[in-house]
Homo-oligomer: A and B are copies of this chain.
Amino acid sequence: MAMEQAAAKPDHTAFLNTLQRYGDAARAALLERIPMAEPYAHLYGPMRAYIENSGKGLRPALLIATCKAFGGREEDALPSAAVIELLHNAFLIHDDIEDVSDFRRGRPCLHHEIGVPLAINMGDAMQTMALRLLRGNLSTLSPRTGVRVVAEFDHLLKESMEGQALELGMIRDNTLDIGPADYLRMTLKKTCWYSFIQPCRIGALIARPNDVASGRLQLDDFNAFGFFLGAAFQIQDDVLNLIGSQQKYGKEIGGDIYEGKRTLMLARLAKLADLDERDKLHSFLAKPRAARSETEISWVLNRMQAHDCICYAQRAARNLLEAAQKAFDPLFCDAQPEDRQFISDCMEYMISRDV
């Protein structure tokens, strides 16, 4: 039985090995650029520790793989890969404070370790360090390409902050009427640009600056692909928060419900709930987080299951993944096979992962 299960599960070994290698390379490039300097105890020390303990490195890996798939060199992509990983970590630190989260990567969130004030400041320092690293980057790229890379980062920062405002605004206003289009727009802005679309665009831009300048390579062609893939990723991530294993997932299960996060499942539940359920859900979400009880979390989860909201979200993720796969084929048809395969595997992994 155990063997059958093992056989049925897709083998992600090759993908995960490459992911690890690209992620490690970006992390190493990033750590090289973080000062071993004062103030160490309250800034650069915890910053280095946070990066050393960081996640899989999906975003830098996607950037490096896209660059190589389009004929570029890994070393040319590394500085930008380091910047995207830096920004991702900066976002997580502030997100965890904004969402009143408790766990990340299997341990207490940074603000529980060093306090909210120093954690806010560390996130700020990492965001502004991105500007510094991008300036350093300009020496290896041509001036024209360097300026374009900065514009890509500028855009992803703008979209991410706007997306975060949409999400936090819905929580603050206790908005329950969230249609699929609202959900997807928020996800496009808060997740897809910085995690998927722009890593591909920046990778391709670094690989083929002349084709981008001449218009032979249109960076906008990556937008639909990255949007579909990113939305599938986000929905699956939110599903894992409900049904995953805390040990593997590294966050508390059901944490999103505690946080009142506007997931596709919550939006679906609000739509299908009868009047009594909707009132109860609304009152629950109007409470401050600390006032939400375990019994209430179980009730929300139970109602999501009764209304088939989790299966609905899983189907949506699967459909979005299929759309990403369709967008992928023409986009990467002439790409270098090895990294083309990595990105193809990445898509499947997005949905079948349990961690």
Contacts and interface: CB of A to CB of B under 8 A. Distances in A.
Interface string A120-154: 11111101110110010000000100000011011
A343 to B, nearest CB: 28
Contacts of A161: 43, 121, 124-125, 128
Given A42-B165, A125-B165, A117 B172 contact: yes
Nearest to A153: B131
Q: How large is the interface on A (under 10, 10 to 19, 20 to 34, 35 or more residues)?
A: 35 or more
Nearest to A134: B131
A128 B127 contact: yes
A99 B117 contact: yes
Nearest to A121: B164
B115 A135 contact: no
Contacts of A171: 117
A97 B125 contact: no
A279 interface: no
Nearest to A41: B169
B39 A165 contact: yes
B118 A131 contact: no
Contact of A127 (B116, B127, B162, B169): B127
B116 A98 contact: yes
A289 to B, nearest CB: 11
A135 B147 CA distance: 9
Nearest to A97: B120
A169 B43 CA distance: 9
Interface string A155-179: 0011001101110110110000000
A115 B161 CA distance: 16
A118 B157 CA distance: 16
A117 B39 CA distance: 27
A114 interface: yes
Contact of A131 (B38, B41, B154): B154
Interface string A94-126: 100111000000000000001111101111110
A164 B129 CA distance: 15
Given A125-B161, A165-B121, A151 B172 contact: no
A115 B115 CA distance: 18
Given A135-B151, A150-B135, A157-B131, A121 B168 contact: yes
Interface of A: 38-39, 41-43, 94, 97-99, 114-118, 120-125, 127-129, 131-132, 135, 143, 150-151, 153-154, 157-158, 161-162, 164-166, 168-169, 171-172
Closest 5 CB pairs of A and B: A42-B169, A98-B117, A125-B161, A43-B165, A128-B157
